[in-house]
Amino acid sequence: MYPRILIPLDGSKTAEKVLPCVRRIARVSKSSVELLGVVEMTEIVTQTPADDLSYAGVLVEEATQNSAEYFDHLAKTFSGCSVKFTVERGRPEEVIIDKATADKKTLIAMATHGRSGVSRWLLGSVTEKILRAVGNPLLLVHAPEGAKTEGEASLKSVAVPLDGSRLAETVLPEVAALVKALDLKVVLVRAYSLPVATYSGEDFYVPHYQELKEQLRKEASGYLETKANDLRAAGITKVECVAVEGTGADVIIDLARQTPDNLVAMCSHGRSGLKRWVLGSVAEKVVRHCEDPVLVMRGE
């Protein structure tokens, strides 16, 4: 499934909130885990007196040693998988991109904060550079106040939004492998709605409105059932289909809110990466507002 999972950590509790989900996936799938820390040279240089730049070397060594001790402690909290940690020096986004792009099958796992995106040095332009540059699958875990950092996450189901496109369907083989490894129920989701009218005055009337809506519901349900049968043929027995009237992002977020211990798995375009998905579309809203972990996979 995922031969390697890369976890960039900045030393904050927010960043550590990705760990329970990764522990579960790594133990069951036998993935190797790499904890990654980055000593930022620019920060250290700015803290060094101009007349004593040699002191920067001392600060670098001290920061590297402190990071090594921190990661050594975290590595011992994993079981059933191999874990190593690496402390690099440089710009966080460049180090993460270099590490990730060495193997496109590596899963990058990061914790996100609902209001500010991804924690500390994974904010703003740094995050955008990472998400646009890598073609790897991404596990983004919401990190609200009070979320635990210890133990393993309890995952019971995976919601898979499908819009009828081949791109969205490319997520299904990877979902099938994940479901078999973690023994999850699959919930296939499709949102449907009538086209928005350009006029809705007092006398506005849509002929056969209910009939049209029912036809859309049946088409959405039939499509999902076809995909569900494909999964059942592949040996996955716990499959549910949910066709819901509404917009894509809102339907996904509402379903996740009503479903405890759930994971959302969706696909992004392989060429434009998360520039398209996390910067102004359905997946952006899902990643920012969904309370469940979101697994973003690459389509071609």
Q: What is the pLDDT of residue 274?
A: 44
The pLDDT of residue 258 is above 70: yes
Q: Which residues pair with 88 in a beta bridge?
A: 38
- Check if the beta carbon of residue 137 is closer than 8 Å to that of residue 100: no
Cβ atoms 249, 232 nearer than 8 A: no
Of the candidates 89, 73, 75, which has an alpha carbon nearest to the alpha carbon of residue 5? 75
pLDDT at 240 over 80: yes
Q: Is the pLDDT of residue 121 over 50?
A: no
pLDDT of residue 248: 82
pLDDT for res 46 = 60
Query: Mapped to the 3 state alphabet, what secondary structure does 147-206 carry?
Result: CCCCCCCCCCEEEEECCCCHHHHCCHHHHHHHHHHHCCEEEEEEEECCCCCCCCCCCCCC
Domains in the chain: ranges and CATH? 4-142 (3.40.50.620), 157-299 (3.40.50.620)
Does the predicted model carry a pTM greater than 0.85? no
Q: pLDDT digit string (tens) for 164-209?
A: 988 889 999 999 999 999 999 999 999 998 765 555 555 555 667 7
Pairing of strands 138-142, 157-161: unpaired
State the pLDDT at residue 58.
61
pLDDT at 60: 65
Predicted local distance difference test score (pLDDT) of residue 34 = 96
C-alpha distances out from residue 3 to 102, 105, 108, 183, Å: 13, 7, 12, 19
CA 201 centroid distance within chain: 42
**Does the structure show a pLDDT above 70 at 123?**
no
Mean pLDDT, rounded, of the chain: 82
| pLDDT value of residue 278 | 41
Q: Is the pLDDT of residue 90 over 90?
A: no
